[in-house]
Copies of this chain bind each other. A is one copy, B any other.
Amino acid sequence: MKRRAVTVVLVLSAALLGTCFQVPNAEDDAALLKQAQMLFSPLPKALGPEAPVPSAQEALGKMLFFDPRWTVEGNVSCATCHQPALYGTDGLSKSIGVLHRRHRRNAPTVLNAGLNFIQHWSGDRNNLEDQVDQALVGAISSGHPDRAAALARIEAVEGYASLFRQAFPDATTPLTSANVANAIAAYERTLLTPAPFDSYLRGDAQAISPIARNGLRHFISRGCASCHHGSGVGGQIFQKFGVREEYWNATGSSEVDKGHFEVTKDPTDLYVFKVPSLRNVEMTPPYFHDGSVPTLAGAVKVMGRVQLGVALPDAEITEIIEFLRTLTGPLPANFATAPALPASSKRDP
């Protein structure tokens, strides 16, 4: 498991940087910036395959993302659980999908999801395309028995056929489940949220406040950055939730979720989850895979306890939160602004 090896190196380097170098005060801002630049990287301008994706594909993907008509009762879209107004989440502990079915886990934000090395809390989706493709037949996301049923709904909306032809001009059959996945994934990769921390990482040491910089110091020296690193400030590795004690004792979770173990059946993957990106974390409560912790302060406290084995002082938590707030960017216009969908000419089921 390569990603684990990386973790170890990063834990060590974070420990070295944080503990050995001890950068406790404001005059060492330049050193802090250097540390941060080693651990994190600013958001790229764009994500995606080497060849540029046609904008018609992104535009189509956006429509499909916002269109509820292709799910089984026509009332749930991707945007139901990934709402713009709630920063790409639904604000619930556990989502409610088609047919009023409750999801087992908390809906992760779709913002910056293209940065994740794998998708979903348990890592059971390889990438965005895989996520969409499986969502087409998901019991909670779609409710259809097969992909053909979902595609038939899309085909039933006059107007989509030509949009697929424009988006996939070289395809003999443009409207396929693979292309639904390609289009939605292409759209989702555009949903990046540059934040003050990116300006900081690019060298503007004053782009975040002195308190936020203190929070960043704690974040590094305590070891948070050993998992939450990279351009997503997370989303790069798997990690066991509950390194120092069982997580459910700290979160009050109502059930024990075995995480990545469900995918691999490997005992070393028990309670292992994808480390979530912390971008916009301030805007996406409640927290953790089961939404069991409602506040950010509570979440930071739990992390200190179960991952690091420390009771973080309140003052430190406050400063860490101030740092986490620098990861909030404005809602991308391409997400906040709904597309006008082609009107349906068929009736709903």
Chain A interface size band reads 35 or more
Does the CB pair A341–B86 fall under 8 Å?
A: yes
Q: Is B96 touching A69 in the complex (CB atoms < 8 A)? A: no
- Cβ–Cβ < 8 Å partners of A179 in chain B: none
State whether the Cβ of A67 lies closer than 8 Å to any Cβ in chain B: yes
In the complex, what distance in Å separates the CA atom of A285 from the CA atom of B285?
Answer: 36
Q: Is the interface of A mostly helix, strand, loop or mixed?
A: loop
Partner of A294, one of B66, B68, B91, B347: B347
Residue contact B73 to A96, C-beta cutoff 8 Å? yes
Given the complex of chains A and B, what is the CA–CA distance between A333 and B337 in angstroms? 8
Flag A45-89 by CB within 8 Å of B: 1 or 0 each: 000000000000000000100111100011100011001111100
A283 within 8 A of B: yes
A347 to B74, CA, bound (A): 28
The CA-CA distance from A345 to B286 in the complex, in Å, is: 8
Interface string of A32-53 (1 = CB under 8 A from B): 0000000000000000000000
Task: Give, as a whole number of angstroms, the nearest-CB distance from A315 to chain B.
Answer: 19
* One of B84, B92, B339, B344 near A74 (C-beta < 8 A): B92
CB distance from A107 to the nearest CB of B (A): 11
What's the Cα separation between A325 and B79 when bound, in Å?
A: 28
> Is the C-beta of A93 less than 8 angstroms from some C-beta in chain B?
yes
Query: A343-B285, A345-B295 in contact; A75/B92 too (CB < 8 A)?
Result: yes
Asked if A326 is at the interface of the complex by the 8 Å CB criterion, the answer is no
Query: CB distance A283 to B96 under 8 Å?
Result: no
Of A79, A84, A282, A284, most B-chain CB atoms within 10 Å: A84
Given known A-B contacts A68-B91, A331-B338, A338-B336, A348 and B83 have beta carbons under 8 A apart: no
Given contacts A75-B96, A338-B84, contact A344 B285 (CB under 8 A): yes
Would A286 and B85 be within 8 Å (CB), given that A68-B90, A74-B92, A340-B331 are in contact? no
B91 touches A344 (CB 8 A): yes
Q: Does A100 contact B (CB under 8 A)?
A: yes
B85 touches A338 (CB 8 A): yes
A69 contacts across to B, CB distance below 8 A: 91
A99 interface residue per 8 A CB criterion: yes
Closest B residue, CB atoms, query A294: B347
A-B contact pairs, 28 of them (CB 8 A): A63-B85, A68-B90, A69-B91, A73-B92, A74-B90, A74-B91, A74-B92, A75-B90, A75-B92, A75-B95, A80-B80, A86-B341, A91-B341, A91-B348, A99-B100, A282-B343, A284-B343, A285-B345, A286-B347, A286-B348, A291-B348, A294-B344, A294-B345, A294-B347, A330-B340, A331-B338, A336-B338, A338-B338
Besides A74-B92, A291-B348, 14 more A-B contacts (Cβ < 8 Å) are A66-B83, A66-B85, A68-B83, A69-B91, A73-B96, A75-B95, A75-B96, A85-B340, A85-B341, A91-B341, A91-B348, A93-B348, A286-B348, A336-B340
